[in-house]
Structure 1
């Protein structure tokens, strides 16, 4: 179908929507009693052995829930500690995420009741003096006072060379073993290139993954185009995931193209249904890679994937060029866009157009109260238009690369794995 971008100028942020339910905060009395009944040195030695955050049985007795307690070892200068698990907060009441201090100790704590399949990154921000007295200025300032969690060895790479972000995964959360290097697994090669776009008038790095062992004569490689490439490789090391999935026979050997986003402003401009960026992906990036790699021309074996605005862009690229991209993997897609008149513009265009030969694999987090309604509406729109092969999933998490990496693995297997069929013709 022919799709042109709507007028520019909408606000560069999602809609401001109140949290639909309170943050499920609780107090873990077991931790409070331990902190009050032990010397500080004993308590923190125990915490170091266990690792943070601490998890314990649900205070309501439900086997599928747990209480999760975040901790901070304060100093005499500590005035406040803000803990922010991804999307487990109420923007209207940031004070609800302030830790309490166990009286007479250096133990600061904050607990939340979560289902045992929850996983998330989180931030810790510590006020040790020097902040503004004005309440309106205080909260933005406090969020700049980030600290690492010294008792949590688990962290995820930060965005745009930022510091690693600590993370938590409860016992029922999806595993991450597919992201670890395994002895004996053949490793593909990753190279970095500079690719110029005449359509966009700019140049960017593109990471290119080629499977181990090269390509057999006459074979054609399926293709993954994964947006925000600088985060996925080298940040998260997606090449290791691809190596493992190929070695396990869950996906065929494939090529992956990972174009970087050129900073927040350029990313917003290019990844809000810009036909030039969609043209770059379909008409410049794929031909560039195909000049020296035997890439398939079959759209049913070509996946475009992205997260947040990248998820919106992946869907937009496929509906503008279904002859190039026959598979969409959109995670927490910003399908609310634009914020204001014409909201959920891409969903409206899909609803008003004939069914296309494109397979959609959508996923969103249960904690994403802003993105979730628009993702569900796109799901329902696809069903109404006859996209019977579309897949939609919700996971217990937020707007979070920790969750997206799991969904990326599952989505690639759904779209490219053994026995997968191509999209139904429109």
Structure 2
């Protein structure tokens, strides 16, 4: 999945010709330029002299249409208030658009390209980097690495530079596991919702851990978690475990049930998991130490609530990019949350430290105020006698690295 080790353009190669012409602001032979583009790996990744932990990454887009511009939206690099950094350059009188960004060599993130129509209103331009944008981004047609899809029909490209953690278990496309997938629709946390149990293809006598995943519609329908679990088991990276996924009803209901509320966690612990084990009495279940809940964003807070409210069920939780801004009254918002603000999530968790639960906190280095809050929570958990581990990935708020962190976390167990 990772882009190759950066090339050094010390000879006149196709990559060097591309970069020289872009820097010069003109192309002498358009056909040769696009022939060169087809022969290299894009985006182009070049080492930076004297800065071994940095890469110059050049993106190229082809469009002869009359456009106001092309916008490269790279997670937490050119989105939100940084839209200007993602506006691509056009070579005069050509169909060539390009942009070079200097990035950490360990960066992993998702991105799209947006063609901006002529005469686009300033109000629409101001929303380019937000989730309210009226435009639909496209995957990078010149990036041949598998992309990622986390909802609907929208697909994004993935940029994983050479020092980013490997994600050998993920291939980008939805994968079906070889094991048994069972689906049913119980009432959980007050709503009838789809629940799925994936049982890997291992003998019944092999002890099975249990991984519980909120946001299961993303993990199962789009990311292909069962195939990734199979690959990790096959390689010996993780011990065999089943996956119990709980869907959201819709986005509004997701916001209402995930986060710092405990109803979902308690229903999973008190009703759902005992029911699963009773349904499969011939299976050997590995027990509490290998029963883990993993969540991202609001689901990351749910993982912490599992440690706080159901420590007798969960021996470990994996918490990725938790929404540390969350409050019970709903008054807080991510954009208004600063490093200096009090964190209800931390205070609630530490009001009764889950000293029998292993906690793995992961956060993207580009997630602003979330980073210091996660680090501080880790330090306070350790001081309270909780086994806490903290890992900072180079990236943003993004399934592109969350999926890798999921397998990393299971392997850590």
TM-score, normalising length: structure 2: 0.84
Q: How many angstroms does 1:401 deviate by?
A: 0.9
Q: How many angstroms does 1:123 deviate by?
A: 1.6
What residue is the counterpart of 2:408 in the other structure? 410
Q: How many angstroms does 1:295 deviate by?
A: 6.3
How many residue pairs match? The answer is 378
Distance 1:227 1:410, change over 3 A: same
What residue is the counterpart of 1:50 in the other structure? 40
Per-residue CA deviations over 1:376-405 (Å, capped at 9, x if unaligned) read 121111112112x32111111111111111
Q: How many angstroms does 1:228 deviate by?
A: 1.0
CA distance in 1, matches of 2:87, 2:20: 19
CA distance in 1, matches of 2:83, 2:248: 31
Task: Select the residue among 207, 222, 226 that pairs with 1:235.
Answer: 222
Q: How many angstroms does 1:286 deviate by?
A: 0.9
Further displaced range: 167-176 or 130-139: 130-139
Distance 1:240 1:93, change over 3 A: closer
Distance 1:298 1:142, change over 3 A: closer
CA distance in 1, matches of 2:23, 2:294: 48
Task: Select the residue among 76, 88, 92 that pairs with 1:99.
Answer: 88
Structure 1: stretches of 5+ with no match in the other structure: 1-27, 416-426
Task: Select the residue among 233, 244, 249 that pairs with 1:262.
Answer: 249
Query: Is this contact kept in 2: 1:86–1:121, CA < 8 A?
Result: yes
CA distance in 2, matches of 1:360, 1:406: 17
Q: How many angstroms does 1:238 deviate by?
A: 1.3
What residue is the counterpart of 1:391 in the other structure? 389
Per-residue CA deviations over 1:179-210 (Å, capped at 9, x if unaligned) read 259xxxx932223322222xx32111122111
The structure with higher relative contact order (CA 8 Å, sep 6+) is 1
Query: Is this contact kept in 1: 2:209–2:285, CA < 8 A?
Result: yes
Distance 1:35 1:173, change over 3 A: farther
Distance 1:189 1:147, change over 3 A: same
Q: How many angstroms does 1:343 deviate by?
A: 4.5
What residue is the counterpart of 1:366 in the other structure? 365
Query: Is this contact kept in 2: 1:131–1:138, CA < 8 A?
Result: no
- Is 2:262 the partner of 1:275? yes
Task: Select the residue among 190, 193, 196 that pairs with 2:187.
Answer: 196
- Is 2:30 the partner of 1:40? yes
Q: Secondary structure at the match of 1:330?
A: strand
Q: How many angstroms does 1:35 deviate by?
A: 6.6
Further displaced range: 110-119 or 34-43: 34-43
TM-score, normalising length: structure 1: 0.81
CA distance in 2, matches of 1:406, 1:49: 29
Q: How many angstroms does 1:310 deviate by?
A: 0.8
CA distance in 2, matches of 1:38, 1:172: 35
Q: How many angstroms does 1:287 deviate by?
A: 2.3
Q: How many angstroms does 1:307 deviate by?
A: 0.8
Distance 1:142 1:295, change over 3 A: same
Further displaced range: 61-70 or 356-365: 61-70
Query: Is this contact kept in 2: 1:118–1:397, CA < 8 A?
Result: yes
CA distance in 2, matches of 1:144, 1:88: 19
What residue is the counterpart of 2:297 in the other structure? 308
What residue is the counterpart of 1:248 in the other structure? 235
